[in-house]
Chain A
Amino acid sequence: MTVLFEPGRELPLVRFGVSFRVGRVDEPAGRDGLARLTARMLRRGSRTRDAEAVENTLDRLGAELSARVGIGATTIRCETLSRSLDEAVALVAELLAEPRHAVDELGRLQRQTVAEIVRDRDDDAGLASRALRRHLFADHPHGQRVAGTRAGVGAIERDEVAAFHRAGYVRADAIVAIAGDLSDEAAAQVAERLIAGLPEGAPHPYAIGEPTAPTGRRLVVVDKADRAQTQLAVGTLGTHPKDADHVALTVANCAFGGTFSSTLMQAIRVDRGWSYGASSSLTTARIRELFAMWTAPAAEDAAACLALELELLARLAEDLDDRAVSFAKNHIRAAWPFEIDTPEKRLAQRLDRVLLDLPDDYHANYLDRVAAVTLADARAAVRARIDPARLWIAAVGDESLRASLEVAVPDLVETIVLPYDAD
């Protein structure tokens, strides 16, 4: 068991959570969504409380319970008024160790989850993001949707939920994270109480391999009629946080699409008014994860906007200059206090270090590594990691967009058209 604690007495609030290194990747074939369903079943009844009693207790305490399920990790988190801490810990400990897994509640949750999947179709940006991931990562676990599919969620049986819980929610793999209005001694007691009822088990092995970069430029059009604008997501693989050039690529990304003053926002929004937002992002995980550009131009500007994005990406290394790199480094350094200004944020950094298997001094040395990045480093990182000839492009819009988008992408090797309501 690992225990992390960040005190903060400014407000009478405590946040505590337990993480396990188990997630979407651990689901058996055909049971897509099992990890999330297992986490969400915790609040649907325990040994002494049915689902309604759990909700009423949480509300009476002034407490909120949430579950965050990812590809390789699950976190069950509770935030409570500090006067209710004792009862909140007792409740969450019972939910973790003794979930009821009632069949009727499981059926209700499955139907609810399927309804949510349908509702998600209204979110065009989400459709673009999921289409990009699904194709960029292909069969890799990071391409799979944590919520699962309608078929997968519907097929899950009660015993499968119980088995997934039994195997994954164990003391040996538990990371307890606590922040807020309590003492060191009280935090240690909270940690022990939270996992007291869990079986010892064994640490969960990390079994996610590295993804493969795409070959060529490929386009997926998510066909949704009558769209006034086109959600565009353009992505390829980025870096692993342990890569020697990860920080240099982070600096380059900041200069390219990380702020309002960055290249993408200036070229697309400020100079042309094509999109309300224009940004790029670099996602960190235990594997080489996503680098992506995000825009939402009017449908009639989509092809021109995409062409410009690809051109800017192709020129990224050569367009970087000392001024841009200096700007990005200064921004990251000066804004750093906002990464650690609350107990919750400091705790999140520590939890990241554990879950991503980063060195203990990763964040302590972070600004020194940013300061050391040179223009040559940033250019080299872009050239080594971001290959503008190996991309997936996801666009949400009418299928008729396809022809103009294909023209906007030189050397396109493949186009796929998907209905927006495919799971």
Chain B
Amino acid sequence: MSFAHLGTLAFGPRMRIERYRLDNGLMLLVQPDRSAPVASFQTWFRVGSRHERPGKTGIAHLFEHLMFGATKTRPHGELDRVLEEAGVDNNAATYLDWTFYVDSLPSEALELVATLESDRMENLLLEEGPLEREREVVLNERRETVDDDVDGAISEALSLRAFERHGYRHPTIGFADDIAGLTLADCQAFYANHYAPNNATIVIAGDVDPDAAARLVARRYGHMAPGQPPPEDDRREPEPQAERRERLEMPTDSAQLVVGYRAPAMAAADHPAVVVLSEILFGGRGSRMHRRLVEELELASEVDAYAGFFRDPCLWEMQAVAREEVDLEALAAAFDAVVAEVRRAPVSAAELERACARIELSTLQGIVGVTGRAEQIGFCETVVGDPAVFFERLDRYRALSPPDLLEAAERYLAPERRTVLEILPGEEDLDAEDEEDDA
């Protein structure tokens, strides 16, 4: 099995990425950094919870757990034991658009990691016993991150109300009833459909020689046959036509206003403007929302937002946590006033400059260690096909003008594009009904 070196890409001001592809379609990205004897080996699969169907939610995440089980040649538990004894920290994560497996390793363990990772990509043993045990673990994870976590519960409630059809509607961890109903056959089909070399990218950042790493990957993965991942999701979400608003009670002492605006996909031309707008509104203590809601009016204890970096149009999520005794309607009015201002008049050049500097800093902070760096590369490659897009984005942010942001604000902060949840302290009054809806 041979591989092709497809080229060298600049990665920030002082680094580079080497891109390779094996004949079976497996992509390899290597970011060499010999400054410390460590590396990160990550396997990114282009499958996430958006590929799941109603009634089968949670399978991408549950399957991620099963990938730590036995293979045809290694008993259950050996993967973790062998890697940990070699000083490798291994983990995995699943989200809407992707699943990835990460090994942070002393560079002397590279061959071992490639051997074990390639083994589980093709030789995983799926059995009833481990499936039942991991099902229980995942249900406990759901209790911890949704049932007993008010922010997790709110996030789930928001997506359910903001989307009608798209796979972004349901939570990545899945609904409890769906998790309970997933079968071994479901898992076997999921493995066969999605865990093929041509649906994956391997990223290695750190103390490696790129060509030697490519030869190693070709040796371990080159014999695998390409698969036929199922066609992309066809559940297109209709454009929102009217604001959706709901008041919910949850077990918390802090009332909250949570707003999700339908935002452009990460690859869309308007996405950089939305990212910068989000920074101007919510980025740090100097942002408009923080100044107004937290400092000047003292209505909120905290404000936050995430502009959303997703393959398809998703949510620009915003949150304002009310202080004790604060009327949620007053908080909502103040929130709306800040949004209205940014839709009415251009932001200042100084605000734009500050937002760009903050984004530049956070971009660099994200790649300080090999693990974060490989994660950024794998994420960008998997979602938009460009591993260095965050650095290219810095130039695009700086090229934006106040009128560009005004145009983006008018379009993407329109009331009809948003779903609003008013969260009040009390008994929880969702989930059961929501899950029945979706089952």
CB within 8 Å of B: which residues of A?
8-13, 43, 51-52, 55-56, 58-64, 79-81, 84, 108, 111-112, 115-116, 118-119, 121-122, 124, 225-229, 259-261, 266, 269-276, 296-298, 327, 330-331, 333-338, 340-342, 344, 421
Question: Are B302 and A81 in contact, with the CB atoms below 8 A?
Answer: no
Contact with A along B132-150 (1 / 0, CB 8 A): 1111111111011001111
Question: Are A119 and B84 in contact, with the CB atoms below 8 A?
Answer: no
A-B contact pairs, 6 of them (CB 8 A): A10-B33, A58-B284, A59-B354, A63-B361, A261-B77, A275-B137
Q: How far is the CB of A311 from chain B (nearest CB, A)?
A: 20
Residues of A with C-beta under 8 A to B353: 60
When chains A and B are docked, how far (Å) is the Cα of A229 from the Cα of B142? 10
* Interfacial residues of chain B within 103-151, with CB under 8 A of chain A in the complex: 104, 106-107, 109, 132-141, 143-144, 147-151
Question: Are B106 and A334 in contact, with the CB atoms below 8 A?
Answer: yes
Question: Are A276 and B137 in contact, with the CB atoms below 8 A?
Answer: yes
Our pick among A115, A228, A259, A338 for the contact of B301 (Cβ within 8 Å) is A115
When chains A and B are docked, how far (Å) is the Cα of A273 from the Cα of B357? 46
Q: Known: A12-B13, A261-B80. Contact between A52 and B143, CB under 8 A? A: no
When chains A and B are docked, how far (Å) is the Cα of A219 from the Cα of B126? 41
Q: How far is the CB of B394 from chain A (nearest CB, A)?
A: 11
Question: Are A261 and B358 in contact, with the CB atoms below 8 A?
Answer: no
Question: Are B354 and A273 in contact, with the CB atoms below 8 A?
Answer: no
Question: Are B144 and A229 in contact, with the CB atoms below 8 A?
Answer: yes
Question: Are A81 and B134 in contact, with the CB atoms below 8 A?
Answer: no
When chains A and B are docked, how far (Å) is the Cα of A242 from the Cα of B271? 53
Question: Are A11 and B14 in contact, with the CB atoms below 8 A?
Answer: yes
Contact with A along B297-333 (1 / 0, CB 8 A): 0100110000000000000000001011000000000
Q: Known: A59-B354, A62-B357, A298-B140. Contact between A13 and B365, CB under 8 A? A: yes
Q: Known: A10-B33, A13-B365, A259-B84. Contact between A55 and B77, CB under 8 A? A: no
Does B155 reach chain A (CB closer than 8 Å)? no
Question: Are A341 and B291 in contact, with the CB atoms below 8 A?
Answer: no
When chains A and B are docked, how far (Å) is the Cα of A198 from the Cα of B67? 56
Q: How far is the CB of A400 from chain B (nearest CB, A)?
A: 16
Contact with A along B237-271 (1 / 0, CB 8 A): 00000000000000111100000000000000000
Residues of A with C-beta under 8 A to B433: none
* CB-based nearest B residue for A261: B81
Question: Are B77 and A226 in contact, with the CB atoms below 8 A?
Answer: no
A-B pairs, top 7 by smallest CB distance, nearest first, are A334-B87, A273-B136, A115-B301, A55-B286, A62-B357, A59-B354, A341-B36
Q: Known: A10-B15, A337-B106. Contact between A260 and B84, CB under 8 A? A: yes
Residues of B with C-beta under 8 A to A259: 80, 84
Does B234 reach chain A (CB closer than 8 Å)? no
> For chains A and B in complex, what number of residue pairs have CB atoms within 8 angstroms?
186
Residues of B with C-beta under 8 A to A342: 36, 368-369
Question: Are A112 and B87 in contact, with the CB atoms below 8 A?
Answer: no
When chains A and B are docked, how far (Å) is the Cα of A126 from the Cα of B323? 20
Question: Are A112 and B133 in contact, with the CB atoms below 8 A?
Answer: no
Q: Known: A227-B148, A331-B87. Contact between A269 and B143, CB under 8 A? A: no
Q: How far is the CB of A304 from chain B (nearest CB, A)?
A: 13
Does B384 reach chain A (CB closer than 8 Å)? no
Q: Given contacts A10-B14, A226-B428, could you give 20 more A-B pairs where the C-beta distance is less than 8 Å?
A: A52-B286, A59-B354, A115-B301, A118-B324, A122-B151, A122-B253, A124-B149, A225-B251, A228-B148, A229-B144, A273-B132, A274-B140, A276-B141, A327-B81, A334-B85, A334-B88, A335-B106, A337-B38, A342-B36, A342-B369
Residues of A with C-beta under 8 A to B370: 341
Does B404 reach chain A (CB closer than 8 Å)? no
* CB-based nearest B residue for A60: B354
Residues of B with C-beta under 8 A to A121: 252-254
Question: Are A112 and B137 in contact, with the CB atoms below 8 A?
Answer: no
Question: Are A59 and B284 in contact, with the CB atoms below 8 A?
Answer: yes
Question: Are A297 and B140 in contact, with the CB atoms below 8 A?
Answer: yes
Does B12 reach chain A (CB closer than 8 Å)? yes
Question: Are A115 and B324 in contact, with the CB atoms below 8 A?
Answer: yes
Question: Are B358 and A331 in contact, with the CB atoms below 8 A?
Answer: no
Residues of A with C-beta under 8 A to B143: 228-229, 296, 298
Question: Are A56 and B354 in contact, with the CB atoms below 8 A?
Answer: yes
* CB-based nearest A residue for B368: A342
Does B436 reach chain A (CB closer than 8 Å)? no
Residues of A with C-beta under 8 A to B350: 56, 60
Our pick among B90, B301, B358 for the contact of A118 (Cβ within 8 Å) is B301
Question: Are B140 and A116 in contact, with the CB atoms below 8 A?
Answer: no
* CB-based nearest A residue for B35: A10
Does B86 reach chain A (CB closer than 8 Å)? yes
Q: How far is the CB of A173 from chain B (nearest CB, A)?
A: 28
Q: How far is the CB of B388 from chain A (nearest CB, A)?
A: 14
Q: How far is the CB of B171 from chain A (nearest CB, A)?
A: 15
When chains A and B are docked, how far (Å) is the Cα of A342 from the Cα of B321? 36
Residues of B with C-beta under 8 A to A111: 298, 323
Q: Known: A108-B298, A229-B147, A296-B140. Contact between A118 and B87, CB under 8 A? A: no
Does B344 reach chain A (CB closer than 8 Å)? no
Q: How far is the CB of B95 from chain A (nearest CB, A)?
A: 17
- Interface hub of A13, A56, A62, A327 (most chain B Cβ within 10 A): A62
When chains A and B are docked, how far (Å) is the Cα of A296 from the Cα of B137? 11
Our pick among A226, A227, A275 for the contact of B427 (Cβ within 8 Å) is A226
Residues of B with C-beta under 8 A to A261: 77, 80-81, 84-85
Contact with A along B267-305 (1 / 0, CB 8 A): 000000000000000011110000100110010011000
Residues of B with C-beta under 8 A to A56: 286, 350, 354
When chains A and B are docked, how far (Å) is the Cα of A13 from the Cα of B369? 13
When chains A and B are docked, how far (Å) is the Cα of A121 from the Cα of B44? 36
Does B360 reach chain A (CB closer than 8 Å)? yes
Residues of B with C-beta under 8 A to A62: 357-358, 360-361
Question: Are B254 and A122 in contact, with the CB atoms below 8 A?
Answer: yes
When chains A and B are docked, how far (Å) is the Cα of A59 from the Cα of B354? 5
Question: Are B140 and A344 in contact, with the CB atoms below 8 A?
Answer: no
Residues of B with C-beta under 8 A to A269: 137
* CB-based nearest A residue for B302: A119
When chains A and B are docked, how far (Å) is the Cα of A330 from the Cα of B144? 32
Q: Known: A62-B360, A334-B87, A337-B36. Contact between A270 and B144, CB under 8 A? A: no
Residues of B with C-beta under 8 A to A52: 286, 291
Our pick among B36, B90, B427 for the contact of A340 (Cβ within 8 Å) is B36
Does B364 reach chain A (CB closer than 8 Å)? yes
When chains A and B are docked, how far (Å) is the Cα of A334 from the Cα of B90? 14
Residues of A with C-beta under 8 A to B38: 337-338, 341
Q: How far is the CB of A178 from chain B (nearest CB, A)?
A: 15
Residues of A with C-beta under 8 A to B416: none
Q: How far is the CB of A116 from chain B (nearest CB, A)?
A: 6
When chains A and B are docked, how far (Å) is the Cα of A356 from the Cα of B357? 36
Residues of B with C-beta under 8 A to A10: 14-15, 33, 35
